[in-house]
């Protein structure tokens, strides 16, 4: 049995869908971890658990032998994921697939990378067998700007001249499903990217083609970007982390393209053009 944390996010929801497909018959392959009861049309079990209450995690782990570990970003993320790892160790799980981030390390220059670095360190010291996934920047992050693109025809961002090998979250889920359902990946770490590294202007071009409307990119400096994020209601810690991350992207540190998605899943990763076409309605285009 596979326990999936973060099962309502972009990656987790697609992962449980893929596992459900693979688990019929005999199914189910996986159990969701949630803080409150919820219906499940996929035929999967739901485990009630709270990252801050270790005893509930112990109950959720019963009958499981593998874990997909991902929790929402909060200032408590390192401690919360460490609680899950400790519960997995107590339950004697065989394998943990941890979704991390690029540049992860306790002393990394980016807030989120430091958090995930702390979790990776705790996982390495747990004695559990594990595999790390470090995906590039999500294509799905552009959906946060979809309303502005639809209403103004402008894609705002802070990418400078940097190129980024954006990845579709659905491809991350496909890679995770492979790691959780096939042997031989323990101890490995995979850098997941899309098939090409694009500038913000090139992303805007793909959105223009998909929506059949002119979309242009507007690059904001750190101060303006910080102000825009704060004005949108982001808490200060999240603003800091996003600005730090985008500073790395603007400097070109996410331009490397890897072939890990194709190697793990047997098919090439989705392009930004495919992502834009799949979400054309959200960006103001007519549905296909």
For residues 226-248, average pLDDT: 95
Residue with tokens 């360190």: 121
Q: What is the pLDDT of residue 251?
A: 93
Do 26 and 124 fall within a single domain?
A: yes
Q: Is residue 200 part of a domain?
A: yes
Residues 120 and 147 in one domain: no
Residue 265: pLDDT band with limits 50, 70, 90: very high
The CATH number of residue 112's host domain is 3.40.50.720
> Is residue 45 one of the residues assigned to a domain?
yes
Q: Which of 134, 84, 142, 83 is nearest to 108 (CA)?
A: 134
Total domains present in the chain: 2
Q: What is the CATH number of the domain that holds 236?
A: 3.90.25.10
On whether the CB atoms of residues 131 and 97 are closer than 8 A, the answer is yes
Is residue 113 predicted with pLDDT exceeding 80? yes
In a domain, 178, yes or no: no
Residues 99 and 127 in one domain: yes
pLDDT digits (tens, 9 = 90+) for 172-215: 999 999 999 999 999 999 999 999 999 999 999 999 999 999 99
Whether 184 maps to a domain, the answer reads no
When pLDDT is averaged across residues 240-246 and rounded to a whole number, the result is 95
Task: Give percent helix, percent strand, percent coil of the chain, each to the nearest 5.
Answer: 45, 15, 40
Over residues 36-83, the pLDDT tens digits come to 445 455 556 677 778 888 888 998 898 899 999 999 899 999 999 999
What does pTM read for this prediction? 0.92
Residues 75 and 97 in one domain: yes
User: Where in the sequence is the domain holding 282, given as residue range(s)?
Assistant: 137-166+193-288
180 located within any domain: no
Percent of the chain with pLDDT over 90: 77
Q: What pLDDT shows up at residue 27? A: 34
Q: Is residue 287 part of a domain?
A: yes
Task: Report helix, strand or coil for 191.
Answer: strand
**Do residues 87 and 158 share a domain?**
no
pLDDT-derived band at 29, boundaries 50, 70, 90: very low
């Amino acid at each position: 049995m596979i326990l999936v944390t973060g099962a309502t996010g972009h990656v987790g929801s697609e992962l449980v869908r893929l596992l459900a497909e693979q688990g019929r018959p005999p199914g189910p392959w996986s159990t969701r971890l949630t803080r409150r009861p919820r219906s499940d049309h996929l035929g999967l079990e739901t485990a009630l658990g709270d990252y801050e209450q270790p005893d509930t995690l112990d109950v959720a782990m019963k009958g499981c032998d593998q874990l997909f570990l991902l929790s929402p970003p909060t200032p408590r993320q390192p401690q919360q994921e460490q609680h899950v790892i400790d519960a997995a160790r107590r339950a004697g799980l065989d394998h943990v697939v941890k979704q991390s981030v690029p540049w992860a390390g306790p002393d990394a220059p980016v807030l989120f990378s430091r958090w995930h670095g702390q979790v990776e360190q705790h996982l390495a010291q747990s004695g559990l067998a594990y595999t790390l996934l470090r995906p590039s920047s999500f294509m799905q992050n552009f959906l946060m700007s979809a309303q502005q693109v639809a209403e103004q025809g402008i894609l705002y961002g802070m990418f400078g001249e940097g190129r980024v090998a954006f990845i579709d979250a659905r491809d991350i889920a496909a890679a995770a499903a492979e790691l959780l359902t096939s042997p031989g990946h323990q101890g490995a770490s995979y850098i997941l990217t899309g098939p090409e590294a694009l500038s913000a202007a090139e992303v805007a071009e793909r959105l223009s083609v998909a929506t059949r409307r002119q979309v242009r990119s507007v690059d904001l400096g750190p101060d303006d970007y910080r102000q825009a994020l704060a004005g949108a209601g982001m808490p200060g810690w999240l603003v800091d982390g996003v600005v730090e991350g985008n500073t790395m992207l603007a400097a070109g540190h996410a331009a490397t393209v890897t072939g890990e998605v194709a190697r793990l899943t047997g098919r090439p990763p989705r392009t930004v053009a495919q992502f834009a076409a799949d979400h054309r309605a959200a960006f103001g285009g007519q549905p296909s």
